Amino acid sequence: MYEKENEKSIGKNSREEFRLIEVKEDILADNKSEAQNLRNRLKQAGTYLLNLMSSPGSGKTSLILQLVENLRGDLKTGVIEADIDSSVDTERLTGAGIKALQLRTGGLCHIDAVMAARGLEALEAELLDLAIIENIGNLVCPAEFDTGAFKNAVILSVTEGDDKPRKYPLVFSICDLVLINKIDLLDYTDFELPRFKENLFKVNPGVECFEVSARTGQGIQEWSSWIKKEVWDFQQGKAQ
């Protein structure tokens, strides 16, 4: 009796799991279509969209503050701040004179293309050269959803450990740029740059990688130059 009931239970769970897989595939397919539509609209407007992903506390907002300051006079920039339920980072950006919009997800651990499109509309992104999404702080969910961005960047601080590309390969495999932040603290951690890059290039060979510090400003100029070239090439029709 126990074996038969157990078999029925296993069968039911398997069907439910299969149904979940189907639903997830449908959701991701729909989002991919929405993301491509958004990219087409942004291309017509000449607005370059960059998606920033990282763990909480890696320094996304601090790096954005440094970046936008370096871009003043060259690019009109705006930021979408995505959070589950907070406006702290948006207040920091607007307090520094940066055009920013708060996007609250209501519990979701990511933003998708539809949410990004609504945020960009409210931000009046068609008037911008560069729009930046500061995605929800985690290295799992945001990697699964295409936001409609032209490029993805991952920020990792040296305090988080050099094994993260092995533990979270998806987010590192889909990114176009990796920023190793808090590099000024390198001597106070067990983080080994050669080991991190070895782990990184195993999942994403040849990806761009900058060593930066939001506190000291190290590497910010190089990142700013990368961004400016990306945007200018995009607007001149040279971007892939």
In the chain, the domains with their CATH numbers are 2-235 (3.40.50.300)
What is the identity of the amino acid at 11? Answer: G
pLDDT the model gives residue 87: 77
Q: How far apart are CA 138 and CA 135, in angstroms?
A: 8
Q: How far apart are CA 76 and CA 68, in angstroms?
A: 9
pLDDT the model gives residue 85: 66
- Go through 145-175 and write b for each residue having 16 or more CB atoms within 10 A of its CB, e for each that does not: bbbbbbbbbbbbbbbbbbebbeebbebbebb
What is the identity of the amino acid at 85? Answer: D
Q: How far apart are CA 200 and CA 194, in angstroms?
A: 10
Q: How far is CA 206 from CA 23, 55, 167, 200, 217, in A?
A: 34, 23, 19, 9, 25
pLDDT the model gives residue 240: 56
Q: How far apart are CA 27 and CA 30, in angstroms?
A: 5
Q: At what angle do helices 2-45 and 113-123 cross, to 10 degrees?
A: 30
Dihedral (Cα; 185, 164, 224, 227), 10-degree rounding: 180
Closest by alpha carbon to 35, among 101, 102, 117? Answer: 117
Contacts (Cβ under 8 Å, ≥6 apart) of 213: 181, 182, 183, 184, 219, 220
Q: What is the C-alpha R_g of the chain?
A: 20
Q: Print pLDDT tens along the chain (240 aa).
A: 323 333 333 344 555 554 444 444 556 778 899 999 999 999 999 999 999 999 998 999 999 999 999 999 999 999 999 886 667 888 999 999 999 998 887 777 888 999 999 999 999 999 999 999 999 989 998 999 999 999 999 999 999 999 999 999 999 999 999 999 999 999 999 999 999 999 999 999 989 999 999 999 999 999 999 999 999 999 998 665
Q: How far apart are CA 180 and CA 170, in angstroms?
A: 17
pLDDT the model gives residue 7: 34
pLDDT the model gives residue 50: 98
Neighbour-count burial of 190, counting CB atoms closer than 10 A to its CB (0-12 exposed, 13-18 middle, 19+ buried):
exposed
